Amino acid sequence: MANRRLNVAVVGATGAVGREILRLLEERDFPVGELRPLASARSAGKTVAFRGRAVTVREATPEAFDGIDLALFSAGGSTSKALAPEAVRRGAVVIDNSSAFRYEPDVPLVVPEVNAHALARHKGLIANPNCTTAILAVALWPLHQAFRAKRVIVSTYQAASGAGAAAMEELLRETGRVLHGEEARGEVFPHPLAFNVIPQIDAFQDNGYTREEMKVVWETHKIFGDDSIRISCTAVRVPTLRAHAEAVTVEFARPVTPEAARAVLAEAPGVEVVDDPAERRYPMPLTASGKGNVEVGRIRRNLAFDNALDFFVVGDQLLKGAALNAVQIAEHLFLRIDA
């Protein structure tokens, strides 16, 4: 199967995540036969670069999936809801980056380093997790395997890219306005983000948490196949461009030390331990941007619990938090590699 060329549709090909998917398919030499970039009617007719040539973007319609083997969706929940079933009906396997299907029991929600096994039971549709969850899961899973996580408290420092290419442009543009003595505006964001932090990502739920915060709870439970871990999150948008950072506290059931955790993480797939404070080396958006692996550091004993660690994890939201995870899922499905 590894040698068959696949016809691949990328839905949302002109967006921030779509562009990364195209780049990764090329860079990782995914066996693409026909590449079919799809987008809204507004973006149809544009071209995207793939393997040195310009490929014209077509409008995403049900018929656009005829003959497609693999469709990577990253164009928002409503597009996924409308078109992913159409693509599946036409024989494609869909990997969906939206939250539209993540909580459906028969849709696997997959971070390959954690639960590649869940892909076996897919029915044509596989969900890619929320970016914050994917980045956390890669670091938390090996620690959970080794020491059994009981409680997890997460505070996030999320980049503009989580809200798409227009959000990154807004941050740059409005930051420029502030530097010129003008007032920043917020159109993509609920408030101006330039030189500000905003403790709201996505809509508020009745329990006082945002949907973004609850996604970390719901999705970690589903990916880990374990809803006994108690998780609480505060999700905050900060004026960075593309890597999400997370300050994480984990109480464990089994005895843990920073040294033991560091040893576990050093062997964990998808993780780069960056933890040398004396040399000022720790995870940062500046160094994690563009990396496939997530950076983990600041590993230390938490001072408020008896058997708990704190760590700081930073991952490129557009890569492990979105495009890379989706392409890795595709590799697991079609290339039968191991994590």
15 labelled ligand-binding: yes
Which residue in the set 175, 185, 264, 335 belongs to the binding site for a second copy (CB under 8 A)? 175
Query: Residue 93: phi, psi to the nearest 5?
Result: -90, 130
Six-digit token string for 254: 């089994």
The catalytic residue among 122, 131, 144, 332 is 131
d(CA 264, CA 121): 29
Site string (191-230) toward a second copy, x via CB under 8 A: xx--xxxxxx---x--xxx-------x------------x
Q: How far apart are CA 262 and CA 144, in angstroms?
A: 13
Instruction: Compute the 3-state secondary structure of the chain and give helix, strand, coil in percent, each to the nearest 5.
Output: 35, 25, 40
Pick one of 236, 256, 296, 327: the residue that binds a second copy (CB under 8 A).
Answer: 236
Q: What is the distance between the alpha carbons of residues 264 and 259, in angstroms, rounded to a whole number? A: 9
The first and second tokens of residue 321, run together, are 């938090």
State how beta strands 32-39 and 93-96 pair: unpaired
> Taking CB under 8 A as the rule, does residue 234 contact a second copy?
yes
Rounded distance, CA 303 to CA 15, Å?
42
Q: How many CA atoms lie within 13 A of 112 on its CB side?
A: 23
Strand order in 32-39's β-sheet? 58-59, 32-39, 6-11, 70-73, 93-96, 125-127
Closest separation in Å from C-beta 259 to a second copy: 11
Say whether 268 counts as a known binding-site residue.
Answer: no
> Which element (helix H / strand E) includes 147?
helix 131-147
Site string for a second copy, 151-170 (x = CB under 8 A): xxx-x-x-------------
Tell which one of 5, 277, 290, 337 touches a second copy (CB under 8 A): 277
By beta-carbon proximity to a second copy, the closer residue of 61 and 302 is 302
Residue 282 within binding range of a second copy, rule CB under 8 A: yes
Q: According to the binding rule CB under 8 A, does residue 148 interact with a second copy?
A: no
Per the CB < 8 A criterion, the answer to whether 24 and 42 are in contact is no
Cβ-based nearer residue to a second copy, 96 or 213:
213
Is 103 an interacting residue with respect to a second copy (CB under 8 A)?
Answer: no
Annotation marks residue 131 as catalytic? yes
Count of residues of this chain found to bind a second copy when the rule CB under 8 A is applied:
56
What are the CA-CA distances from residue 20 to residues 153, 237, 266, 267 (Å)? 30, 21, 27, 27
Q: Which of 53, 105, 304, 338 binds a second copy (CB under 8 A)?
A: 304
Residue 307 interacts with a second copy (CB under 8 A): yes or no: no
Return the residue of 142, 164, 239, 315 that touches a second copy, per CB under 8 A. 239
Rg (CA), the chain: 20
Q: Is 6 in the site for a second copy (CB under 8 A)?
A: no
Asked if residue 142 binds a second copy (CB under 8 A), the reply is no
Distance, in Å, from the CA atom of 196 to the CA atom of 192, rounded to the nearest integer, reads 7
Q: Closest separation between CB of residue 204 and a second copy, Å?
A: 4
Q: Contact at 8 Å (CB) between 282 and 307?
A: no
Instruction: Return the residue matching tokens 């079933």.
Output: 85
Closest to 69 measured CA to CA, from 6, 136, 149: 6
Smallest distance from a second copy to CB 93, Å: 34
Q: How far is the CB of 235 from a second copy (least distance, A)?
A: 9
Q: Which is nearer to a second copy, 30 or 311 (CB)?
A: 311
Binding site for phosphate, by residue number, is 102
- Would you name the residues annotated as active-site residues? 131, 244
The binding site for a second copy (CB under 8 A) comprises 151-153, 155, 157, 172, 175-176, 179, 190-192, 195-200, 204, 207-209, 217, 230-234, 236, 238-241, 245, 247, 249, 258, 277-278, 280, 282-286, 297-305, 310, 312
